[in-house]
Chains A and B, each alone.
Chain A
Amino acid sequence: MSTLRPHRLSSWLLFSAALVALVPALLLTGVALHDLSSRERERATERSAQLAHALAGELRRFIDGQIVEFTALRIAAEGHSTGDRGQLADHLRPHSQANPALLSVQLVDASGRVVIADPPDPDVEGTDLSGQPWLKEARERGLPVWSAATISSRTSKPSVTLVVPGQRWSVVCYIDLGTLADVIGRVRGGQAATATVLDHDGTIIAAHEPRLVRERASLREIPLVRQALLGQDGGAVIALAGQQQLASVATVPHTGWVVLVAEPVEASQAVVGRSRLILLAVLVGGLLTAGLAGRLLARRILGPVRALSERTRALASGEPVPSPPDVGTIRFRELEALSAGFDSMAQRVRSREAALQRSEASYRRIVSTSLVGVASTSLEGEIHFANETMARILGAPSAEALRGKRLTDFFQDVAHQRQLVDDLKATGQVANREVALLTVTGGPRTGLLNVARDGDTLIGLVVDVSDLKRSAAEHQRLEQQLERAQRVEAVGRLAGGVAHDLNNVLTAVIGFGHLLAEALPATHPERESVDGILEAAGRATALTRSLLTFARKNPLQPRPVDLGAVVRGVASMLRNLLGEDIEFTVELPGEPLVTVADPARLEQVLVNLGTNARDAMPGGGRLTIAVARAALGQGEAAALGLDGPGPWITLTMKDSGLGMTPEVQRQAFEPFFTTKESGKGTGLGLSIVHGIVRQHGGVVTVATAQGAGTTFTIYLPASDERVEAPALPEEARAGPGGSETILVAEDEVLVRQVVTTTLRKAGYRVIEAVDGADAVARFREQRDAVALCLLDVIMPKLNGREALAAIRLITPGVRVLLASGFTGSVLEERGLDLESVGLLQKPMAPAELLRRVRSALDRS
């Protein structure tokens, strides 16, 4: 494609028209002017030559006249001698009076001395002229001689001397050169032509400017003049008075004088100049006419073309296309075909444009409503366009605000930027690349990035997977939590089962131990062994209780308590427990925060956690216990594993200890898991905490990192119940006895024996049954005698619950006390109504058995 600027068609049409008109006219004008100029020059040369000859003729007549006149004078004077001055004066006088050119006329004698002069001058008369070259020449030649021009010593006028020599007298006449000027002034050849007379040396003796004569200016250096001084007439262009002049020369016979007529070339070409002006005017007229014609033509042709151009522009810019203009009477087939073609094209363009607009609008809607962030950028990543989703992902107030920014500037990691650029260079695209983004405000985001190159543009798609990532993490966490909980639950069930069976064994051990101890006197040598058995059994009982607590199979004695008060209650004990190296702080709210709980269990929780904290800070540190309301949303509560509607209160215990590894954290609540040295811990502390908290409908969480301390947070359901003052502790007393008949159903022989022996010792009558069915049969037999049925819950044939149901069919109001190694809550889960029956927690001490039996019998 040419880089030259295109020409305007109208200019070209005008130019062409002007060219067509101008070139022939210019050629004709040139030829005509050249011809005219030549002829004018010839005419001027001829004119000046004629003038020069005419002037030369005039001068010749003048000179001849002078010579004739003074020759006559000389002849007349010849007859007079020198003594006859008066007569001589008479001859001279008429000449000086009648001849206007005559300055002075003198008669000179043969010696060259002036004898008489007219006008008379005593100074002149007697002067010697023999030294004058013109006198010498005239005498030598015997002919009249004209001197060179000179300034008259008497008149100071330019003059020339004419000598007419004779035998006795020579006549010397001083002729005023001003007269010559009059002569040449009479004949003027046009306004600009000037005539000059030169003497035989080329010195000016007459000119239109008298100064030239006075200054004896010489034109001898002009070749034409030199040629004339040699007697040759002619004409030429010469440089004179600073300008080019057309000059002609003519010689004046007898004198050697030259007449020079000169006319500035410019003036001689005046007619040519005028003609040139006229022709120029004609040319300009022609040019204007051609211009007008060209313009008319251009308008006729360019009108429709311009209209078409305007319509094309409108079409291109999407404006309404104007209708074709009225072209008048003169129409051009080609232009109309062009216009029709344009209309057809415009229609097709319009329909394509509409389709394109629809398509574009559709795409635009898709892009703008897409949940995927879309942006187009330069190859350097500068954003040209972005949709609102992209703006939302990148935290910009609007899509427009992203324009001009670089997409890669939102990458958190510079390595990601580099990797992206490298991959784009290598393959031209990037697919499903997960990148860490930073929003405009600095917030972190995770995006899934797809980039494809389209020419000089990059199209980038970003899917915000931040929530997805968060959900996945949460999901993982919950799964871990669930797994942990399930593991703890499974372990709990196992522990509960073991503890139950062990309790039965321990019940028998303790029961028989006590019986044996009571049977042996205090001094008996085996008494110490029996006491050792009982002590070990007591420790085993405590262990099984812990296990049952962890397994939530210990019965609770819940009541509304102020959690802050519970903390305050154990604070002093904890301070002692922690020792002096640990800074202990308690942060409690100004209001009571109530939960329904067994305060003894909560105290156990605090002690267990406190013990753990102390062990985690062997070199000292800080422990802070805080109680507060928990502002938990439903989702958060659910995420923590809390059931129920809330609200919740928290008990937080934060230490500055060693912290836990993730592995330790994962297993922390499992029973018998301990990081302590053998013998220093049972591995049940946190398991018990977990069990107690869960038993209270709460959750315990642990936040820890190795070396950064550990924070346990216990969430408990808040209660709006009022806190009652705690009942006074029941006075410990020996089990009471009685005489009523009691049906004891227990499948474990040892336990049955302990129970029946204890009851019988306390005065009761005992009917023994070995299982549930046996119990029902026995009750039927002696239903009137039985005051209380003591049923084990777990029995063969009929379990406690079934046996109870059968017995209640016989005697609905019968008093029943159930005995079990399980906690109340477990039994309730198994469908037992503990409201109507009492529960005796195994293993139990004989005094406890008797107290509960008496209490059941006494209940109205």
Chain B
Amino acid sequence: MLLLGACQREPIKVGGAFGLSGRHYDLGISGRDGATLAVEELNAAGGPGGRKIELLVVDDQQDPEAARRAVRSLVDQGVVAIVGHMTSAMTEASLPVANQAHVLLVSPTSSAMKFHGLDDWLVTLFPSTRRSADLLIDRITRVDKVRRLAVVYDLSNLAYTQSWYDRVQEVLTAAGSAVHPVTFTSGAEPSLGEVAGRALAGRPDAVLVIANAFDSASICQQLRKRDAAVRLYGTDWGFTHDAIAHGGRALEGAIFTLKVDMENRTPKFVRFKEAYRARFSRAPDFAAVFSYEAILLLAEGLRRDATREGVRRAILGLGTFHGLQEDFHVDATGDVDRPQLLMTIRDGLVVRPE
């Protein structure tokens, strides 16, 4: 009887809200695949607390209204928690829905500063933009001694890009440097060459591009076409494998922030990379890593309590979580503290800058 009961236990429904279409689909697809792999591995081991996870994937279409609809539909389907979204803009749009429904959002990559330190129904695995920004700003000001900086940023993910810009502008201005903002909207611009032209118009020492991989690569290509010497900086969001492939030599020497060292040799991470490649025939990017970790974190909570309220309580009380590369701390408001890196591209490879 007991055995039969265990066999017949209902699976735990978990939502997955990813941007599978729209301009930033690369993050969404990586997020979906990372989450899928994690769920498949957990279920193969019996599932948290002996219950399988059923991942219900929806496409937030990179559209705020669609994101809210997606979360509502998941809530209606009875999910215990939702992994997603992959961009801060979508998380910002649907968080009120999750708060109202008391369904926990575990966002792999949302990092806008406005999400941090709040008692809400959001847990982010991505550290606050501020820490990444401060690390890069330190490089820009202290090492590279940039005096004039153009900041190109995408208005379509303003929650993220604006945080970045505000911090950069605040610190650099305070340090006596000039900061020149250049905005564009992904997919809506007739020519990214024109955007690059605007960035270079003030003859900056360097340009910081805060955009997705394709846009970052394209903008860097256009900047390089116009000015071979200008220093290039970027963020985790824009500097993915796809960006490197697409940007080619234009990205050589560009310095960007990174949360995940893709060359990390930790056995756990190596095993993950191999499994991912075997499952999806491509290498994982940071979004896949964070999405994978988001599911593992959620599973830890579900193992303790598989109810909506209970899983939130469990995760917020978890403290230390064993990530793929290192242990990190989840605080009582659902924020994490994990290491930040600065990387550059040399001969087509991602390496530590000098």
Spell out A's residues near B (CB within 8 Å).
Answer: 112, 122-123, 126-133, 148, 151, 153, 156, 200-203, 211, 214-216, 218, 220-221
Closest to A216 in B: B29
A234 to B198, CA, bound (A): 56
A204 to chain B, nearest CB (A): 12
Q: Would you list which residues of chain B between 15 and 73 have a CB under 8 Å from chain A? A: 20-21, 23, 25, 28-29, 32-33, 59
User: 13 A-B pairs, CB-CB below 8 angstroms?
Assistant: A112-B248, A112-B249, A122-B191, A128-B250, A130-B248, A132-B245, A133-B245, A153-B218, A156-B187, A214-B25, A215-B20, A216-B29, A220-B279
Closest to B221 in A: A127
Question: What are the residues of chain B within 8 A of A129 when measuring CB–CB?
Answer: 248
Flag whether B224 is at the interface (Cβ < 8 A): yes
A121 to chain B, nearest CB (A): 8
Question: What are the residues of chain A within 8 A of B245 when measuring CB–CB?
Answer: 131-133
Contact A218 B222, beta carbon cutoff 8 Å: no
Contact B222 A123, beta carbon cutoff 8 Å: yes
A14 to chain B, nearest CB (A): 40
Closest to A126 in B: B225
Contact B281 A123, beta carbon cutoff 8 Å: no
Please tell me which one of the listed residues B23, B215, B247 contacts residue A131 in the complex, with CB atoms under 8 A apart: B247
Closest to B226 in A: A126
Question: What are the residues of chain B within 8 A of A214 when measuring CB–CB?
Answer: 20-21, 25
A-B contacts counted at CB < 8 A amount to: 77
Extra contacts, 9 of them, besides A126-B221, A200-B281 (Cβ < 8 A), are A123-B221, A128-B221, A128-B224, A128-B250, A131-B244, A131-B348, A156-B187, A215-B32, A221-B279
Flag whether B148 is at the interface (Cβ < 8 A): no
User: 4 smallest A-B Cβ distances: which pairs?
Assistant: A201-B281, A131-B248, A128-B248, A127-B221
Closest to B189 in A: A123
Query: Quick one: CB contact mask for B276-296 with A, threshold 8 Å, 1 for yes?
Result: 000111100000000000000
Flag whether B193 is at the interface (Cβ < 8 A): yes
A212 to chain B, nearest CB (A): 10
Spell out B's residues near A (CB within 8 Å).
Answer: 20-21, 23, 25, 28-29, 32-33, 59, 187, 191-193, 214-215, 218, 221-222, 224-225, 244-251, 279-282, 348
Contact A128 B280, beta carbon cutoff 8 Å: no
Please tell me which one of the listed residues A123, A128, A151, A156 contacts residue B192 in the complex, with CB atoms under 8 A apart: A123
A201 to B348, CA, bound (A): 23
Contact B281 A131, beta carbon cutoff 8 Å: no
Question: What are the residues of chain A within 8 A of B20 when measuring CB–CB?
Answer: 211, 214-215
Closest to A203 in B: B281
Contacts A127-B218, A203-B281, A220-B280 given: A215-B29 contact, CB under 8 Å?
yes
A218 to B282, CA, bound (A): 11
Question: What are the residues of chain B within 8 A of A156 when measuring CB–CB?
Answer: 23, 187
Contacts A112-B249, A131-B244 given: A215-B218 contact, CB under 8 Å?
no
Contact A218 B281, beta carbon cutoff 8 Å: yes
A127 to B244, CA, bound (A): 13
Contacts A122-B193, A211-B21, A220-B281 given: A132-B248 contact, CB under 8 Å?
yes
Contact B247 A128, beta carbon cutoff 8 Å: yes
Contact A218 B225, beta carbon cutoff 8 Å: no
A128 to B249, CA, bound (A): 6
A132 to B192, CA, bound (A): 19
A131 to B247, CA, bound (A): 7
Contact B250 A127, beta carbon cutoff 8 Å: yes
Question: What are the residues of chain A within 8 A of B32 when measuring CB–CB?
Answer: 215
A813 to chain B, nearest CB (A): 145
A126 to B187, CA, bound (A): 20
Contacts A126-B225, A131-B251 given: A153-B282 contact, CB under 8 Å?
no
Closest to A150 in B: B242
A221 to B250, CA, bound (A): 36
Question: What are the residues of chain B within 8 A of A211 when measuring CB–CB?
Answer: 20-21, 59
Contacts A127-B221, A131-B251, A131-B348 given: A215-B21 contact, CB under 8 Å?
yes
Question: What are the residues of chain B within 8 A of A220 when measuring CB–CB?
Answer: 279-281
Closest to B224 in A: A128
A133 to B245, CA, bound (A): 7
A122 to B247, CA, bound (A): 16
A216 to B31, CA, bound (A): 12
B133 to chain A, nearest CB (A): 26
A196 to B314, CA, bound (A): 43
B156 to chain A, nearest CB (A): 13
Contact A130 B25, beta carbon cutoff 8 Å: no
Contact A131 B59, beta carbon cutoff 8 Å: no
Contact A132 B246, beta carbon cutoff 8 Å: yes
Question: What are the residues of chain A within 8 A of B246 when measuring CB–CB?
Answer: 131-132, 153
Question: What are the residues of chain B within 8 A of A153 when measuring CB–CB?
Answer: 214-215, 218, 246
